[in-house]
Amino acid sequence: MTPYRLLFDHVLTRSDPEQAHHLGFAGIRAAAPVLGRLPRRSRPVEAMGLTFPNVLGLAAGFDKNAVGIDALAALGFGHVEIGTVTGEAQPGNPKPRLFRLPADRAVVNRMGFNNDGSEVVAARLAARGRRPGVVLGVNIGKTKLVPDDDQAAVEADYAKSARLLAPYADYLVVNVSSPNTPGLRNLQAVEKLQPLLEHVRRTADAVTASRIPLLVKIAPDLDDDDVLAVADLAGAIGLDGVIATNTTISRADLHTPDSVVEAAGAGGLSGQPLTERSLDVLRLLRGRVGPELTLVGVGGITSVADARARLDAGADLLQGYTAFIYEGPTWPARIVRGLGDPGARKPA
């Protein structure tokens, strides 16, 4: 067990999770000059016409407002996905809204897309400028006040974010799968998702000199037929990739006592309980789309074995978040080092 695990299990679990996140992230940013001098040994990965320094990235949700991209990359992440950013700034859901389930190495969150909004984040990215060696993903979502049954308003809301943020992104992600914005997951229905993705595609193309990759992030709670429908849609409209998966609303088979789970309340569950379903969704997608579409495996990746299993199932890239919280700042470098050859594709 690492010193961080001991500290986390015996000390940090007693602190407020959201406050601990802010303090920990501030510490990472403060340490960035030192982290940037640490040697890193990894092999690059080619995907979507981009070169990723290694296979493992940080999932959206950790750096919602693009305030620590380079510090996070210095920890060993091959790409950093910021957001979710919405068209308009919003405070998110009332606190408390973040809960740990240590017995399951899991987290429940109902943050509600709290972020500074697309205008502020775009200005921050403009001031940062483009920097070599860091692949930047930008994850965009729906502003809470925009009704999901008003397709034109939804498309306009996502388009605002795409218009402002695409010029600074290496790839763009449409998030329709968080359980914490009312009605958002309804947008995963193909009849709503296709025109939304096509509108975002046109908007991004209009503001960028070259085509940037566009991906969609889906929920593990879709049934298999709906997963396959998204796969077919991705091929039909020329999507560049799918991120599988977001958090789940399921609370099945947890080790945490029911009373603790009920006290945490509604929200998306992330961490080890997602491992099997996220892996199954990835296999379904790869079996349907063939070898060309980029698939990003995320959800319950904690160990090197988890990472290898996801690559073997067809992932081109990986992302983590909850394991980063539980395992600490050396986790990304340990995973990349443990994979040995993170640039290797799945066996033929």
Cα(38)–Cα(41) distance, rounded to whole angstroms?
A: 10
Q: Is 78 annotated as a binding residue?
A: no
- Could you tell me if 213 and 49 are in contact, meaning their C-beta atoms sit under 8 angstroms apart? yes
Q: What is the pTM of this model?
A: 0.94
Break the chain into its structural domains and give their ranges: 3-339
Percent of the chain whose predicted confidence (pLDDT) is above 90: 88
Which of the following is catalytic: 42, 118, 161, 178? 178
Tell whether residue 62 is among the known ligand binding residues: yes
Q: Is 202 annotated as a binding residue?
A: no
DSSP letters for 227-273 = HHHHHHHHHHHT--EEEE---B---TT-SS-HHHHHHH-SSEEEEGG
Q: What is the pLDDT of residues 48-60, one digit of tens each?
A: 999 999 999 999 9
- Each of the 348 residues of the chain gets a pLDDT tens digit; together they read 677 777 677 667 778 999 999 999 999 999 988 876 566 667 899 999 999 999 999 999 999 999 999 999 999 999 999 999 999 999 999 999 999 999 999 999 999 999 999 999 999 999 999 988 889 999 999 999 999 999 999 999 999 999 999 999 999 999 999 999 999 999 999 999 999 999 999 999 999 999 999 999 999 999 999 999 999 999 999 999 999 999 999 999 999 999 999 999 999 999 999 999 999 999 999 999 999 999 999 999 999 999 999 999 999 999 999 999 999 999 999 999 999 854 444 433
CB 55 within 8 A of CB 339: yes
pLDDT digits (tens, 9 = 90+) for 242-286: 999 999 999 999 999 999 999 999 999 999 999 999 999 999 999
Position of tokens 């502020």? 120
Residue of 330, 321, 348 lying closest to 62 (CA atoms) = 321
Q: Is 60 annotated as a binding residue?
A: yes
Helix 224-237 vs helix 190-207: crossing angle, to nearest 10: 30
- Asked whether residue 192 is marked as a ligand-binding residue, the answer is no
Q: Identify the CATH homologous superfamily for domain 3-339.
A: Aldolase class I (3.20.20.70)
Give the type of residue at 67: V
SS3 label, residue 317 = strand
270 flagged as catalytic: no
